[in-house]
Amino acid sequence: MTEDDIYRTSTQYRLWSFTRESLASLRSTTNASAADGVRAAIRSQHVGQAGSDPAREGSNDKPSDPAKEVDCLTVEEEQKLVGFYCVKAMQFADFCEFPTNVKATAVQYLKRFYLSNSPMTYHPKEMMAAALFLSTKTENHYTSLRSFASKLPKTTPESVVAPEFLLTQGLRFTFDVRHPHRGLEGGIMELLGLAQGKGQAGPGIKQSSEQLQKEMVDIEPAKESSKKARSADEVVRRIQVAHGKAKEVGKSSALLTDAYFLYTPSQIWLSSLFLADEPLARFYINTKIPTTSTLTPKLISTLQSCAELLRSSASANPGEAEIKALTRIDKKLFKCRNPDKVDLVGINKAQKRDSKGAGENGLDERVIKKRKLEREKSEKEAEGIFGPTLAKETN
């Protein structure tokens, strides 16, 4: 089984990989559904208020429909708002000194959640804290809930965990996120090995380690540098510089764009290396795939497309114009939020209250009985595999 076969079995490939068209269609559908939900909730709320108003009783005036006046967010406005809170999540993760994998996973949780949910239904500010705290658990980086909540202004432990089940539902209970960071580290180690004459080329490549080492010295310089490397030590320094630049791309642009939805982790890290030092990236690819292979031009085209996407990433430090646009969107959101979904802490408490007294551990009796039958069935199947339980010897 190849690495590609293994990746294709992952939930990231099966559930969270899209074409540009299908991704745009999904976001458009989510936006339209959320807008309908907002209008229905506002209409229902207005009817309830009108019914409880004594002054309206017996009146023949036809009540106005406030839902028609609601100006809902567009798909583009939703994306800008989610992107802003992705940046905020990254900044807070840096403030808490969380490792890169925790930060990157939290951002992907937010982006995945808002493929099937809208900011008009659940505000990204509330989901951001829940996503970041969940990522500390899924990435095995222990952080106490009280300590985590104390670092966020106007945030309680209850408000952090209240949206957690909604978040896991939106993630379809799949918490594994494959990042490009480890692949980049592996690629850089291979390049350093080649520069030191210790590396080996891939199958079908006839050059020896010494030949590859000499070829690395002759690689044309990157666009930013006009000076060609003259020794193996200078090649090593060049690789280290490219590593630093590619690493920054993976920690910012790769997270803030749709790269994770459109490309594989290996394509993302190779594209980040393309942006950092294209001649070096091309040399690395040629040590893996023969230049005569039909796969090479296809791969280069894909990497260039991904690199262009990474290059177009929004800044991790929004300017004054962007802040003004985001402020306008947030004010617009205040008027078009679903009133039934505003108080997530209250909703969470109500759900817990309703579950009490519904049977053992808050479960319905039918659910308990079903689980008992399933457990007994599995025990019988286990006996069939391993044989019946051995009887104890009696003295």
What tens-digit pLDDT sequence spans the chain (395 residues)? 677 888 899 999 999 999 999 999 999 999 999 999 999 988 887 776 655 555 555 555 555 555 567 889 999 999 999 999 999 999 999 999 999 999 999 999 999 999 999 999 999 999 999 999 999 999 999 999 999 999 998 889 999 999 999 999 999 999 999 999 999 999 999 999 999 988 888 887 888 888 988 889 888 888 776 677 778 889 999 999 999 999 999 999 999 999 999 999 999 999 999 999 999 999 999 999 988 889 999 999 999 999 999 999 877 778 888 899 999 999 999 989 988 888 888 887 777 766 655 554 555 566 667 767 777 776 666 555 455 556 556 55
For 248-307, what is the HEC assignment? HHHHCHHHHCCHHHHCCHHHHHHHHHHHHCHHHHHHHHHCCCCCCCCHHHHHHHHHHHHH
Contacts of 157 (CB under 8 A, 6+ apart): 145, 146, 148, 149
Minimal CA–CA distance to 136: which of 116, 162, 161? 161
HSE of 368 in the Cβ direction (CA atoms, 13 Å)? 8
CA atoms within 13 A on the CB side of 40: 8
Separation of CA 95 from chain center? 20
Structure tokens given for 133: 């705290």
Helix (H) or strand (E) holding 178: none
Say how far apart CA 121 and CA 131 lie, in whole Å: 16
Task: Produce one character per residue of 137-164: b if its CB has 16 or more CB atoms within 10 Å, e if not.
Answer: ebbeeebeeeebbeebeeeeeebbbbbb
Please enumerate in sequence order all residues whose Cβ is within 8 A of that of 236, keeping only pairs 6 or more positions apart, or say none: 192, 195, 196
Tokens at 164, concatenated: 């957690």
304: left (phi over 0), alpha (psi -120 to 50) or beta: alpha
**Number of CB atoms found within 10 A of residue 281's CB:** 25
Q: What is the pLDDT, as a whole number, of residue 360? A: 47
Q: List the alpha helices (DSSP H) in the chain.
A: 3-8, 11-16, 20-51, 75-95, 100-116, 124-138, 145-150, 157-161, 164-170, 181-195, 209-217, 232-251, 253-256, 259-262, 265-276, 278-286, 295-311, 320-335, 344-355, 365-386
pLDDT at 285: 94
What's the CA gap between 24 and 81, in Å, rounded? 16
* Length in residues, the chain: 395
pTM of the model as a whole: 0.83
- pLDDT value for 53: 54
For residue range 325-381, list pLDDT tens digits in order.
999 999 999 989 988 888 888 887 777 766 655 554 555 566 667 767 777 776 666
Whether the Cβ atoms of residue 109 and residue 134 lie closer than 8 Å to each other: yes
Q: Residue 78: how many CB atoms within 10 A of its CB? A: 23
Give residue 271's Cα distance to chain centre: 19
**Cα 246 from chain centre:** 19
Closest CA to 128 of 150, 103, 147: 103
DSSP code for 336: S
| Residue (of 12, 110, 78, 1) closest to 336 by Cα position | 78
- Tell me if 306 sits within 8 A of 263, measured CB to CB: yes
